[in-house]
Amino acid sequence: MNPYPLQWPYGWPKTVLHEAWSTSKLETLASERDTLLKELERLGATKVVITSNGQVGASGQLLAKQAKLREPGVTVFFRLGTFDYAIASDRYDSLAGNLRALGSTVNCLRTISRHHSPYLLRHLLSPLCWRACSARPEPGAHSSADNTRSAGSGQRKKGQQKPPPKQEQARRPPPTPKATPWRVMLGDLGKVLTWETVKKNYRKLAMELHPDKGGTTTGFQDLQRAYEEAKQFFNQS
């Protein structure tokens, strides 16, 4: 993945009106960039790529001096353990402001990792995992499926089933949310995954999530499901 141009995570909402961050409270762009990189390093992240519409040097790093951008958003892609994640910010009207926002976000994740259950951190990061795998397509780019739909709009191919009425569609139950992957639930973010690590995290989470210890039946059943999947992966009976 290249640092230029901006790769916006697919499905991540865009800000319409950007806010101004007081320049007196911001460091230089280079300093905010380096702070974000240090926070990610402390979190244990690897394969870090910062993407934006700002100019980059030969090394791929954002240059210290930038012109004011119409779209100042920043996305950082990184890896924790065996999963890739993406966090984006375009709330502020400058690259430095959005770099500061991302650095503060990663700092909060580090605080959760240090002082709270790793289970909480994994659940917070889990929805961001799939977004890191599919960046927003370039403007004007359409898939072949989109072209087929647009070309054949209003015409139904022979043998194609008629779509169900709107009332029937409304009665359909909502999709079942995807279960948390066992690697996310039972692994140590940023560390090599081993069976010993899985067993240690399982015992710890079992004490937290058991209904008799203040947990919920659903959460405990999800943990058991993840543990069984891990046993199969490591060939444990």
**DSSP string covering the chain:** --SSS--PBTTPPPPSSPBPPPGGG---HHHHHHHHHHHHHHHT-EEEEEEESS-B-TTSPBPS--PPPSS--EEEEEEETTEEEEEEE-SBSSHHHHHHHHHHHHHHHHHHHHHS-HHHHHHHHHHHHHHHT-BPPPTT---HHHHHHHHTTT---TTPPPPPPHHHHHHSPPPPPPPPPHHHHHSPTTS---HHHHHHHHHHHHHHH-GGGT--HHHHHHHHHHHHHHHHHTT--
d(CA 6, CA 20): 20
Place of tokens 């240690």: 200
Does residue 37 carry a pLDDT above 80?
yes
pLDDT in the model for residue 73: 92
pLDDT score for 22? 64
User: Average pLDDT over the chain, rounded to whole?
Assistant: 76
Tell me the whole-structure pTM to 2 decimals. 0.57
Query: Using CA atoms, how far apart are residues 109 and 141, in angstroms rounded to an integer?
Result: 35
pLDDT tens digits, one per residue of 112-144: 877 766 667 777 777 666 445 455 543 433 433
What's the rounded Cα separation, in Å, for the pair 209 and 215?
4
Range in 56-65, 156-165, 199-208 with the lowest mean pLDDT? 156-165
Residue 32 has what pLDDT? 92
Considering the chain, what percentage of its residues have pLDDT values greater than 70? 72
Angle at 7 between CA 4 and CA 10, to 5 degrees: 175
Label residue 146 by pLDDT band (50, 70, 90): very low
Q: How confident is the model at residue 82 (pLDDT cuts 50, 70, 90)?
A: confident
Residue-wise pLDDT for 175-206, tens only, equals 555 566 777 778 765 566 788 888 988 888 88
What are the tens digits of pLDDT across the range 84-114? Answer: 888 999 989 889 999 999 999 999 988 887 7
Mean pLDDT of 1-22: 80
User: Which residue do the tokens 């977004």 mark?
Assistant: 131
Which residues is 50 bridged to in the sheet?
76
Q: Is the pLDDT of residue 217 over 80?
A: yes
